[in-house]
Amino acid sequence: MLNAYTSDEIRAAERKLMARLPEGTLMGRAAAGLAVACARALPRVYGARVLLLVGAGDNGGDTLYAGALLARRGARVDAVLAAPRAHAGGLAALRRAGGRAAGLPDGPPDADPRLTGLVRRADLIMDGLVGIGGSGALREPYAALARLAGGAPGVVVAVDVPSGVDASTGEIAGEAVRAHLTVTFGAVKAGLLVDPGASRAGTLLPVDIGLGPDLPEPGVVALTGAEVAGLLPRPGAESDKYRRGVVGVVAGSDRFTGAAVLAVGGAVRAGAGLVRFAGAADPVRQVRARWPEAVTKIIAPEEGVAEVGRVQAWVLGPGMGTGDGALELARAVLATDVPVLVDADGLTVTAREPGLLRRRAPTLITPHAGELGRLLDVPAGDVEARRLHHARRAAAEFGVTVLLKGSTTVVAEEGGPVRVNRTGTPWLATGGTGDVLAGIAGAYLAAGLACADAAACAAHVHGLAGRAAATGPEGGEAPIAAMDVAERLPAAVRALTSGS
In terms of Cβ atoms closer than 10 Å to its own Cβ (0-12, 13-18, 19+), residue 396 is middle
**Residue 59 assigned ligand-binding role:** yes
**Residue 424 assigned ligand-binding role:** no
**Residue 498 assigned ligand-binding role:** no
* Cβ 410 vs Cβ 417: under 8 Å: no
**Residue 136 assigned ligand-binding role:** yes
**Residue 24 assigned ligand-binding role:** no
**Residue 62 assigned ligand-binding role:** yes
**Residue 61 assigned ligand-binding role:** yes
**Residue 271 assigned ligand-binding role:** no
Which residue type, as a one-letter code, is found at position 63?
Answer: T
How big is the CA angle at 33 (ends 27 and 35), to the nearest 5 degrees? 100
Peptide bond into 141 cis (omega under 30): yes
**Residue 368 assigned ligand-binding role:** yes
- Distance (Å, rounded) from C-alpha 372 to C-alpha 369? 5
* Cβ 343 vs Cβ 315: under 8 Å: yes
Beta bridge partners of 81: 54, 103
**Residue 168 assigned ligand-binding role:** no
Beta bridge partners of 102: 80
**Residue 497 assigned ligand-binding role:** no
* Cβ 184 vs Cβ 196: under 8 Å: no
**Residue 435 assigned ligand-binding role:** yes
- Distance (Å, rounded) from C-alpha 122 to C-alpha 2? 33
Most distant CA pair in the chain, distance? 82
**Residue 112 assigned ligand-binding role:** no
Using only C-alpha atoms, the chain has a radius of gyration, in whole angstroms, of 26
Specify the long-range contacts of residues 402-406, CB closer than 8 Å, at least 24 apart.
402/364, 402/365, 402/367, 402/372, 403/364, 403/365, 403/366, 403/367, 403/441, 403/455, 403/458, 403/459, 404/367, 404/368, 404/369, 404/372, 405/366, 405/367, 405/368, 405/434, 405/437, 406/195, 406/368, 406/369
**Residue 321 assigned ligand-binding role:** no
Residue 233 DSSP class: -
**Residue 132 assigned ligand-binding role:** yes
**Residue 442 assigned ligand-binding role:** no
**Residue 225 assigned ligand-binding role:** no
Please name the residue ranges forming H helices in 57-215.
Answer: 57-72, 88-96, 113-121, 142-150, 198-201
- Distance (Å, rounded) from C-alpha 29 to C-alpha 394? 40
- Pick out the residues of the known binding site for (6S)-NADPHX: 58-62, 131-137, 142, 160, 259, 319, 368, 435
- Pick out the residues of the known binding site for AMP: 405-409, 434
- Pick out the residues of the known binding site for K(+): 59, 127, 163
- Pick out the residues of the known binding site: 58-62, 127, 131-137, 142, 160, 163, 259, 319, 368, 405-409, 434-435
